[in-house]
Amino acid sequence: PLSLSHIFNLFLGRNLQPLGKGCQSPDQGLNPGGREVIQNSKEVLSLLQEKNPAFKPVLAVIQAGEDNLMQEINQKLAEEAGLNITHICLPADSSEDEIIDEILKINEDSRVHGLALQISETSFSSKILHALKPEKDVDGVTDVNLGKLVRGDAHDCFVSPVARAVIELLEKSGVNLDGRKILVIGAHGSLEATLQCLFQRKGSMTMSSQWKAPQLQSKLHEADVVIFGSPKPEEVPLSWIQQGTAVLNCSHDFLSGKWLQIGSPGIHGHSLIAEDVSLLAAALRIQNMVGSGRRWLREQQYRRWKLHCLKLQPLSPVPSDIEISRAQTPKAVDVLAKEIGLLEDEIEIYGRSKAKVRLSLLERLKDQADGKYVLVAGITPTPLGEGKSTVTIGLVQAMTAHLNVNSFACLRQPSQGPTFGVKGGAAGGGYAQVIPMEEFNLHLTGDIHAITAANNLLAAAIDTRILHENTQTDKALYNRLVPSVNGIREFSKIQLARLKKLGINKTDPSALTEDEMRKFARLDIDPATITWQRVLDTNDRFLRKITLGRGTQRKAQFDIAVASEIMAVLALTDSLKDMKERLGRMVVASDKNGQPVTADDLGVTGALTVLMKDAIKPNLMQTLEGTPVFVHAGPFANIAHGNSSVLADKIALKLVGEEGFVVTEAGFGADIGMEKFFNIKCRASGLVPNVVVLVATVRALKMHGGGPSVTAGVPLKKEYTEENLQLVADGCCNLKKQIQIAQLFGVPVVVALNVFKTDTRAEIDLVCELAKQAGAFDAVPCYHWSVGGKGSVDLAWAVSEAAHKGSRFQFLYDVQLPIVEKIRTIAQAVYGARDIELSSEAQSKIDRYTEQGFGNLPICMAKTHLSLSHQPDKKGVPKDFILPITDVRASIGAGFIYPLVGTMSTMPGLPTRPCFYDIDLDTETEQVQGLF
């Protein structure tokens, strides 16, 4: 094998004496600088690795045929420079498609930063060249790199290392290229084009010829410099080359002993600069590789997105949401992904307008600084909602499309229940919404269906286990749980984990004692303690209470799918490994000794993880103005913690960069969604919010000021459509209270007044003035619903200023406090209750959870969203009330205890006239109708 010193000796050309025109002396030593190139590449790479210790560029070489010498040279030079190199060796007769298959694999491998093709000249078809990714083309053979070179953008492209080596060797040999006649013989394609371009830049006159051209001899007589682009055939005599002509050979045949020495006896007066070209080219390829890695690193760092925003043409009056959505053509999601810095292998495309983002992105960007973190919450809403999602979308449209600031919206996926029941959609509204809104509201990528399937598999496992334990002996049960398959009997991985939990340190199923077999096989679930319910993503009040079984029966119920603990796990997890552990920790019941029974005990954790393996990846969509949105997870805020996923937020914070903004939304009022965001989600994620945007509407404030009841589907009373400053002023008590709640956590508040067309200037000014008097950093009227992002530019400026003011974030309570005290703290500090009242069942559950070791978890209150109290009809700021806690449940996998306040249902019902009356499909166009 060649030693590195041998390679460098070849670089230094110690035995060669160039005699070309312009040389100062015939004995001048040739030093083309190969060692210098490698040393420089090594130093540059070291500097890059100082800030990015895990970074090590990888060069892939696809080689067709055996050329072990060049393979060894590539390997040695890469190692010296500090690169990794991988060789893909194919047979010499490999087909075009076989070579392309390997190229496409390398294209999609984000670990590889450069790709070189070591194949015959005849194999360089246009199909192969088009398959090669230009940004990995370190040999500069693709049309993109050649085009940039021709246009003069050499700094922004890869230039052929062979062509560069030719120029460097000539110049370092003292050959003056200006005005010289250059003849390139036997070169093809990109090498020929690159040589011509580089020589022309040096002022040379370039000629090209093939070896069998009839004019070859006359051209050789004219040439000052001759470049052999391929091996010289024997039928071309060396005597055709004029004395004093500098000659370079671009093939590397000399390394194999095939090169006929021009300086052999009997042939004098020629300059031999042949042996060094391929070696120097190999070094320059390494230099290109380091440049490729540097460019890749630069692209991973914060930068302003080159986002092509979509133009809006707002109409007046504002059309329906679905008409607005359908009038805009979204960008292809792969285009959006590239604009925001995602790599091709980091997305999984679903159709044209949505994609899942792989979690590998977090590892790639782990050293990237996070952007600013903004939470959108609201005052206590009317049943119609006050537009938190609309404000969220309007704000990011303003930031990115109008202020050129990187921003990302993170929203929850809507449940099918409200979509077909009351709400009709949750993609925002007017000219501030996510598109296509039909896909946003219907199925999306199937995450909720995956949750439903996983949840109900676990429910089935519980009742099945009870049945089999009740009908089998210990021995029969054990033998069925650990059967002999093809004569081999062994525990599964999850069964070994259960043995370890039981303190049984055995791995041979036949080695267990009878007592150990019984302990292993029997969970002894107490049916009265089962807390795991079946779920369905449809509002169905008739499933609130059901009876299971025909022989042995038990009372049970269905919950709405988004109330499943698996949804909460999805929303709070930060990795696939963490999700699997959380799923395994989920407590479904207690055994007859009062000990918790988990999904791990039932042996179902691995299967649940398999069902959830795709759901864990956030869904990428876009706003009406083409800015990015993550839609991921969808827990309700009144019966769960009401926030989109931690993973979506973490990925978005990396993608926007240090100067960017991630805007996420918490469900319902600040007393519910925001409180849970801070005390549950921020504890789980470790993320610290910079700003709270508190959404208010004149309509809701009038309701809190004593206005008539607001009911979905019923026309608004005149108090809400005509100016009434007194109702607005009286209702601002609720806004003031919600501002104070945010201030409990030390986060600055910006009030966003979502303006409706019936709001008057006096009402708008009054709300903004009272909000600032109540302690808001700023209060801004927003018009995004009617005009899009430009209607929220003032809000964007206010949020940016508040974010740079700094947050003094703190949690409301210490999780080490007893469960009762944590509940009381929330009731008094957030809701304004005088005290709490626990039912006997609630107290019994608290005692059990504390005894089982779950007392140090945060609290997730299940409470009506229509009032600060537990009574939906109590508006404004209720005082001096006792908060009743009727039940307490535990989501151990998700990581919280959730008390039920008053009469809370976890399965909504359909109204008399559900939204599905208006939802239809045009069977000719396949367009959805009636989703708003």
Mean pLDDT across 189-204: 92
Quickly state the pLDDT bin for 26 (edges 50, 70, 90): very low
Q: Is residue 486 domain-resident?
A: yes
Q: What is the mean pLDDT of the chain?
A: 88
Higher-confidence residue: 39 or 253?
A: 39
| 714 & 846 share domain | no
Q: How far apart are CA 686 and CA 931, in angstroms?
A: 37
Closest by CA to 620, choosing from 372, 406, 348, is 348
Do 369 and 300 touch, CB atoms closer than 8 A? no
| 338 & 353 share domain | yes
Q: Is residue 197 domain-resident?
A: yes
- Dmax (CA) for the chain in angstroms is 113
| 285 & 148 share domain | yes
For residue range 860-873, what is the model confidence (pLDDT) as tens digits? 999 999 999 999 99
| 628 & 670 share domain | yes
Quickly state the pLDDT bin for 232 (edges 50, 70, 90): confident
| 640 & 492 share domain | no
| 545 & 577 share domain | yes
Mean pLDDT across 876-885: 96
Task: Reply yes or no on whether 785 is catalytic.
Answer: yes
Q: Is residue 811 domain-resident?
A: no
Quickly state the pLDDT bin for 22 (edges 50, 70, 90): very low
Q: How far apart are CA 393 and CA 375, in angstroms?
A: 12
Closest by CA to 696, choosing from 780, 613, 615, is 780
| 500 & 606 share domain | yes
Do 569 and 583 touch, CB atoms closer than 8 A? yes
For residue range 264-301, what is the model confidence (pLDDT) as tens digits? 333 334 455 544 688 888 999 999 999 998 888 877 66
Task: Reply yes or no on whether 92 is catalytic.
Answer: no
Do 386 and 394 touch, CB atoms closer than 8 A? no
Res 27: pLDDT: 30
For residue 415, give the CATH number of its domain: 3.40.50.300
Do 57 and 292 touch, CB atoms closer than 8 A? yes
Task: Reply yes or no on whether 668 is catalytic.
Answer: yes
Quickly state the pLDDT bin for 932 (edges 50, 70, 90): low
Task: Reply yes or no on whether 637 is catalytic.
Answer: yes
Quickly state the pLDDT bin for 155 (edges 50, 70, 90): confident
Mean pLDDT across 493-500: 94
- CA dihedral (836, 837, 839, 841) in degrees, to 10, reads 30
Q: How do beta strands 882-891 and 835-838 pair?
A: parallel
| 639 & 706 share domain | yes
What percent of the chain shows pLDDT beyond 90? 67
Mean pLDDT across 798-822: 95
Other CB atoms within a 10 A radius of the CB of residue 366 amount to 9
Res 467: pLDDT: 92
Cβ neighbours of residue 482 under 8 Å, at least 6 residues apart?
489, 490, 491, 495, 509
For residue range 818-861, what is the model confidence (pLDDT) as tens digits? 999 999 999 999 999 999 999 999 999 999 999 999 999 999 99
Task: Reply yes or no on whether 916 is catalytic.
Answer: no
Owning domain of residue 572: 448-612
Burial of 219 (0-12, 13-18, 19+ CB in 10 A): middle
Do 335 and 647 touch, CB atoms closer than 8 A? no
Active-site residue, from 668, 677, 881, 932: 668
Res 414: pLDDT: 85
Q: How far apart are CA 155 and CA 167, in angstroms?
A: 17
| 593 & 660 share domain | no
Task: Reply yes or no on whether 274 is catalytic.
Answer: no
| 287 & 363 share domain | no
Res 318: pLDDT: 94
Choosing from 553, 577, 612, the residue where a domain stops is 612
Task: Answer whether residue 875 shows pLDDT above 70.
Answer: yes
Q: 3-class secondary structure for 107-145?
A: HHCCCCCEEEEECCHHHCCHHHHHHCCHHHECCCCCHHH
Q: What are the distances in angstroms from CA 247 to CA 164, 169, 222?
A: 15, 11, 13
| 622 & 587 share domain | no
For residue range 322-342, what is the model confidence (pLDDT) as tens digits? 889 989 999 999 999 999 999
Mean pLDDT across 206-220: 91
895 Rama sector, left if φ>0, alpha if ψ -120 to 50, beta otherwise: left
Choosing from 556, 586, 612, the residue where a domain stops is 612
Res 892: pLDDT: 95
For residue 595, give the CATH number of its domain: 3.30.1510.10
Q: How far apart are CA 897 and CA 838, in angstroms?
A: 15
Mean pLDDT across 119-141: 88
Q: What are the distances in angstroms from CA 134 to CA 129, 144, 507, 911?
A: 9, 6, 54, 58
Cβ neighbours of residue 469 under 8 Å, at least 6 residues apart?
477, 521, 522, 523, 524, 525
Res 798: pLDDT: 98
Higher-confidence residue: 566 or 538?
A: 566
Active-site residue, from 331, 364, 423, 822: 423
Identify the residue whose tokens are 């370079």: 248
Q: Is residue 23 domain-resident?
A: no
Active-site residue, from 637, 652, 684, 827: 637
Task: Answer whether residue 392 shows pLDDT above 80.
Answer: yes
Q: Is residue 81 domain-resident?
A: yes
Q: Is residue 311 domain-resident?
A: no
Active-site residue, from 388, 650, 822, 863: 388
Res 1: pLDDT: 44
Res 655: pLDDT: 96
Do 300 and 364 touch, CB atoms closer than 8 A? yes
For residue 866, give the CATH number of its domain: 3.10.410.10
Task: Answer whether residue 259 shows pLDDT above 60.
Answer: no
Mean pLDDT across 791-802: 98
Res 813: pLDDT: 97
Task: Reply yes or no on whether 809 is catalytic.
Answer: no
Structure tokens at 202: 């040096």
Q: Is residue 189 domain-resident?
A: yes
Find the range with the poorest average confidence among 387-396, 415-424, 762-771.
Answer: 415-424
For residue 138, give the CATH number of its domain: 3.40.50.10860
| 596 & 633 share domain | no
Closest by CA to 290, choosing from 192, 161, 417, is 161
> Which H or E run contains 596?
strand 596-598
Res 233: pLDDT: 87
Other CB atoms within a 10 A radius of the CB of residue 420 amount to 21
Res 14: pLDDT: 37
Task: Answer whether residue 622 shows pLDDT above 90.
Answer: yes
* DSSP 3-state of 355: strand
Res 239: pLDDT: 85
Mean pLDDT across 385-403: 96
Q: Is residue 181 domain-resident?
A: yes
Task: Reply yes or no on whether 390 is catalytic.
Answer: yes
Domain count of the fold of the chain: 4
